[in-house]
Amino acid sequence: MRWEDMRRSENVEERSGGMPFGIGGGMGLGGGAILVVVVLSLLLGKNPLEMLALLSGGEGPSVQTQSVPAGTPAPGARPADPQREFVARVLGDTEDVWGDIFTRMGKRYEPPKLALFHGQVASACGMASAAMGPFYCPGDRHVYLDMSFFQELSQRFGARGDFARAYVIAHEVGHHVQNQLGLMDQVQAKMAGASERARNELSVRQELQADCLAGVWGNSAERRGLIDGHDVESGIAAAMAVGDDRLQQRARGYIVPEEFTHGSSEQRANWFKIGLNSGDVRKCNSFASREMRAQSGGGRTQ
């Protein structure tokens, strides 16, 4: 992946000042427990963000925020970290691609901010920790990313390569696109008063659409020669690695499809490939798909 050729975004923030996230009285989570909240949410059939909100109901410690253009260290700071540079350049490329797409739609794209944090961070959606993995908060239009997740993605889930990491960022940016287009508000309206099973299905459809939108960005990157076939395989592997079925199987040894909130590995890979193959936002209507098992249209293999 030729990420060095991508434009560097200036919308990356580094946040510090948070304490390690604790559950029920201050027991901090170590690196080995990075997915504990996700696991708990899957066991209970809940949305991970809802679980986090319950666990962090009190007012969290103060968090200082400093906006620093990635790759431009503040006075006295250490030189730019390659991982931070990677994040800033992938984010910058998503800004360019979605800016062009929105212009063709007669709209104006307003890029999200991306907050890098360690341990714990405060957001408009509540306190969040590394255990949550990357997430998008519509309340403040920020993507939140603890860099340790990339290591988990590679070592624990076997999704290696630069494009696997890029897929994660592009998926969260996909949620921002949904938010700007008013799709998130529509989903929230439908969830109001719905049964838990119906809410889970709407959540799955929303996540699958974000996977497809990530693929739309990947289509542009591929057409410009920034990624190749090996990168594509890496991205598909990442989409499959975070499927609800794999996470449930890992957490408790069996699968309960009715409790999915993000989609199965097959669903996530398929919708990512739909966007990757077509480059067409209109193909990403996961809400119109009867069984959410839309096929990629050929041409891609895992």
Q: What is the pLDDT, as a whole number, of residue 251?
A: 86
Please indicate, yes or no, if residue 295 is contained in any of the structural domains. Answer: no
Q: What is the pLDDT, as a whole number, of residue 291?
A: 54
Number of domains in the chain: 1
Mind listing the pLDDT tens digit for each residue in 159-183?
A: 788 999 999 999 999 999 999 999 9
Mind listing the pLDDT tens digit for each residue in 194-217?
A: 999 999 999 999 999 999 999 999
pTM (2 d.p.): 0.77
Q: Is the pLDDT of residue 131 over 80?
A: no
Q: Is the pLDDT of residue 74 over 60?
A: no
- At what angle are helices 229-241 and 196-223 packed, to 10 degrees? 170
* CB proximity list for 96: less than 8 A, separation 6 or greater: 7
Please indicate, yes or no, if residue 128 is contained in any of the structural domains. Answer: yes
Query: What is the average per-residue pLDDT within 96-102?
Result: 98
Q: What is the pLDDT, as a whole number, of residue 290?
A: 65
3-state helix, strand, coil in the chain (%, to 5): 55, 10, 35
Question: For the chain, what is the mean pLDDT?
Answer: 80
* Residue 226 confidence class, pLDDT cut points 50, 70, 90: very high
Number of Cβ atoms within 10 Å of the Cβ of 251: 16
Please indicate, yes or no, if residue 302 is contained in any of the structural domains. Answer: no
Phi, psi of 115 (to 5 degrees): -100, 120
Query: What is the average per-residue pLDDT within 273-294?
Result: 85
Q: Distance of CA 221 to CAs 96, 211, 224, 226, Å?
A: 11, 15, 5, 5
Phi, psi of 116 (to 5 degrees): -90, 135
Please indicate, yes or no, if residue 277 is contained in any of the structural domains. Answer: yes
Distance CA(102)–CA(60), nearest Å, equals: 37
* CB proximity list for 104: less than 8 A, separation 6 or greater: none
Q: Which two tokens stand for residue 95?
A: 């800004």
Q: What is the pLDDT, as a whole number, of residue 267?
A: 95
Q: What is the pLDDT, as a whole number, of residue 132?
A: 76
Which residues constitute the domain of residue 212? 3-288
